[in-house]
Structure 1
Amino acid sequence: MHTDTDTHDLRHHGDAEVRDEKLTDLAVNVRSHTPPAWLRDRIADSLTGLAAYPDARAARAAVAGRHGLPVEHVLLTAGAAEAFVLLARALRIRRPVVVHPQFTEPEAALRDAGHRVRRVLLRASDGFRLDPAAVPEDADLVVVGNPTNPTSVLHPAATLARLARPGRTLVVDEAFMDALPGEPESLAGRTDLPGVVVLRSLTKTWGLAGLRIGYVLGPPATIAALERAQPLWPVSTPALAAAEACMTGAALAEAEQAAHRIGVERDHLLAGLAEFDEVRVVTPAAGPFVLVRIEGAAAVRERLRSLGFAARRGDTFPGLGPEWLRLAVRDRATTNRFLQALDQALVMAGCTSAER
C-alpha cells in the first residue's frame, strides 16, 4: 500500500506525445480513421439545432436501452474524464483507493478535491493481475480499469465483483471495453452488485476525443448525486447526437467488427515484438494497445521520434518506471513500418548490436 507522495506526472497524457509534430501516432489509444462518415454526418446535422439548449433525454434513453437499464441508472458526461471529477467532488468518501498502474486522471481528480489517495500497485512479476485481498477492507471508494490502461490486462468480472460491498463505491473504468469482441468481463448493466459504477467513453472506438462524450452507469442515488454536481447542460447538442447514434444496432455491430479487427492487428503487433530479445511484452493483452518493457526505453522512444513514430512513455504511471512504453495497435502496414523503425531505434540507442 502506498500513499500519494511520489512524483509521477499524473497530468501527462498521450496527446502530449504527438502535439505540434507530424508523427505516426502510437501514443494515443483512439482508433484510426474515425469518426466514420455516417457519424460525422449525424453530428453535422445536429448543428442546425444549436440555438436551443441541449436536451439529453433521447441520448440518455438510448444509452439506457443499450445496457438494459432504466434511465435513472445513466448519466451522460463530457467525456469519461468529467465523471472522475464528479465522483471525487460529489461523493462523501474518506478512504479512496486507486489500483495502479492505470489511467491517472482518477487519482488526479481525487487529489484536486482534497482527498488523500492510497494506491494498490500491481506487479509486473504477477502480470499486473489484481488480487482483491490487496485492496484495504476499509476503502470506501475503489477505482480500477478494465481492460486496464496502460497494461492491457482484462480482469475477470468475478474478481472485480469480490471488491463490491455495501458502503463502498466500486468504480470500474471500462473506457476500452467496446474494443473487445463481445465485451467480456464487463460489469455494465449489472445491478446485482452493491455500489458498482461503470464508466464508458465513446472517444476510443469512434474517434470523438475532441467532442467529449462519455457516460456513467450506476445506482440511481449515485447517479443523482453526480448529476447535482454537474453544471447546467454539461454535454453539447453535437455530443448528444453522437451518443444517440452510437447506441443503434448498426453502430454496435460496426463496433463489434472493429473490435475483431483490432484483435487481429494486435496479434500481428505482438508477433512482431516477439522477434526482439530486448523487448518484453505484458501478455495476454486484451486492449487496443500493448505495454512493453525495454531497458533504455527513454532513449529508444527518442530514437523512434526521430524516425517518425510517437510512443507513450510509461514513467508517468504509478507502478511503472522509465523502462516502459505503451504502443497503440494500428493497421498491419503501419505496424510493419513501426517494427522496422524499432529495429533501427534499438541499435541507435545502443540497446542491441547491429548484427541481429
Structure 2
Amino acid sequence: MPDDTQFQDFDHARLRHHGDVDARPGMVDFAVNVQGSAPPEWLRERLAARLGQLGRYPGEDDERAARAAVAARHGRALEDVLLLAGVAEGFAMLPRLGSRLAAVIHPSFTEPELALRQAGVPVARVMLAPPYTLDGAAVPENADLVVVGNPTNPTSVLHPADGIRALRRPGRIVVVDEAFADAVPGEAESLAGESCPDVLVFRSLTKTWALAGLRCGYVLGAPEVLARLNHGRPHWPLGTLQLEAIAAVSEPAAVAEAQRKAETIAADRAAMIPRLRAIGIEVREPARGPFLLIRVPDAELLRKKLADKGIAVRRGDTFPGLDPGFLRVAVRPAAEVDRLVAAIRDVGL
C-alpha cells in the first residue's frame, strides 16, 4: 500500500547510503555489485587509445557515435537515446518531468526517491511485501510518475514485463530502472527494445564492465520526454572516455560477452544460495539479479564482525520497507563465497 507519510520529513542520509561506503580498499567485496575490480583488457586498451585526444573537447561525432551504438544495440531510433554520466545522473533529472505525485515502488534503489523529494516532488511509497510481487493496484491512480526497478535492487526480483506495462496510464510516465538487466541471461523481461511514448528505461554500464569510476549509462525513451530530461543540462555533459566506453560496450561482441557473464552470474547464484542456507542464513527468493537479499538474527552485528575479518556486505535497513535484519550480498564466484561462509561460521550468526 502507498505510504501515507509521503509528505513528511525523510532521512536523507539513509536514502543516500550505498554499498561503496561499506567496502574499504582491500576488503573482499560483497557490498558493491560491480563485476570485477577493473574493465577487461580490451576495453582498457580502447580507452587508453583515446588518452592522447583529451586535450580537445568531446565532439558531436563522438556523442553521435555512442548514441548510434546504443540505438543499434536495442533496435531503437537514434533520437530515443540520451547518454548519461551514470544512471544516478538520470535519476537526478526526473524532477524536470514536473510530476505532481510520484510513486516509487519499494524496496528499491533509493536515488530516484531522493532526487524527487529534494526537488519538492510529493512521493508516495508503494511497499511490496515478500516475495515482493509487483502489484499495480497498489499504485495511486493519480500518480503521474511511477518508478520501478527490474531486476530490483536489493530484492533481486525480476518483474514480468507485462506487469510493468500494466502500470501505464494516460498522463503517466513509467520509469524502469534496468541498471542490472544485462546481468540477467537473455535480458529477460526488459523493455529496452520497446518504443513506448510513456516509458523511460534507464541502463547502467558501470556494473558489468567495472566502470563505476567512469560513470556511464543512458536512458531510452520518446524524444520529447528525453528533451524534457535534458533541458538545462550543461554543455559537454560526458567526456571523451565516457563516450568511447558507451560505444565500445554497446557493440555486438561486447553484448555477447556481457551475456556470457550473465550466465556465469546465474550459475554462481544457484551455487551460492544453498551454501548460505546451509549455515542458517535466510535467503529471499525468487532471485534473478547479481545479488541476494538475506536475513539474519542480528544483521548489524554480523556486518561489523565480517568487516573486522576484511569482508564487506551491504546493510539492508537503508532500503525503505526492510527492517534491520536484512543484508544484501553480491553474487560472487565459489572461492570468494568460501571466504564468506568460513567467516560467518567463525563469527557466528
Q: After the TM superposition, which residues 1-356 of structure 1 pair with which residues of structure 2 at under 5 Å, given as runs?
A: 1-2=2-3, 3-4=5-6, 5=8, 6-7=10-11, 9-19=14-24, 21-55=25-59, 56-88=63-95, 90-124=96-130, 127-191=131-195, 193-277=196-280, 279-346=281-348, 351=349
- Range 49-58 or range 72-81, more displaced: 49-58
The residue identity in structure 2 corresponding to 1:200 is R
Q: Which amino acid aligns with 2:308?
A: S
Which stretch shifts more, 303-312 or 176-185? 303-312
Alpha-carbon distance in 2 for matches of 1:103, 1:280? 21
Q: Secondary structure at the match of 1:303?
A: helix
Give 5+ residue unaligned stretches, structure 1. Answer: 352-356
Q: What do the CA deviations read for 1:201-231 (whole angstroms, capped 9, x no partner)?
A: 0000000010011000001111111122321
Q: Equivalents in 2 of 1:229, 1:266: separation in Å?
A: 42
Is this contact kept in 2: 1:104–1:317, CA < 8 A? yes
- TM-score, normalization: structure 1? 0.93
SS in 2 for 1:290: strand
Q: Distance in 2 between matches of 1:150 and 1:233?
A: 33
- Measured against aligned partners, the alpha-carbon deviations of 1:243-275 in whole angstroms (never above 9, x if no partner) come to 000011110111011001111111111020120
Partner Cα separation in structure 2 for residue 13 and residue 259 of structure 1: 23
**Structure 1 residue ranges (4+ consecutive) displaced by more than 2 angstroms after TM superposition:** 3-8
User: Does structure 2 retain, via aligned residues, the 8 Å contact 1:32–1:330?
Assistant: no
Secondary structure in structure 1 of the residue aligned to 2:50? helix
Aligned 8 A contact 1:120 1:134 in 2: yes
Cα distance in 2 for residues equivalent to 1:345 and 1:197? 45
Count of paired positions: 341
Question: What does the per-residue CA deviation read over 1:66-110, in whole Å, with 9 as the maximum and x for residues that have no partner?
Answer: 11111111000100000001112x212111111111110001111
Q: Give the conservation status (yes or no) of the 8 Å contact 1:165–1:194.
A: no
Within 1, Cα distance between the matches of 2:203 and 2:271? 27
Contact 1:166 1:194 in 2 (8 A): no
SS at match of 1:266: helix
In structure 1, C-alpha distance between the alignment counterparts of 2:233 and 2:49, rounded to whole Å: 26
**What SS does the corresponding residue of 1:111 show, helix, strand or coil?**
helix
Q: Secondary structure at the match of 1:338?
A: helix
CA deviation after TM superposition for structure 1 residue 33, in Å: 4.4
The one-letter amino acid of 2:318's match is: T
Letter in 2 for 1:12: H
Counterpart of 1:354 in structure 2 is none
Letter in 1 for 2:287: A
What is the alpha-carbon distance in structure 1 between the residues aligned to residue 80 and residue 56 of structure 2? 26
Deviates further, 115-124 or 3-12: 3-12
User: Percentage identity across aligned positions?
Assistant: 53
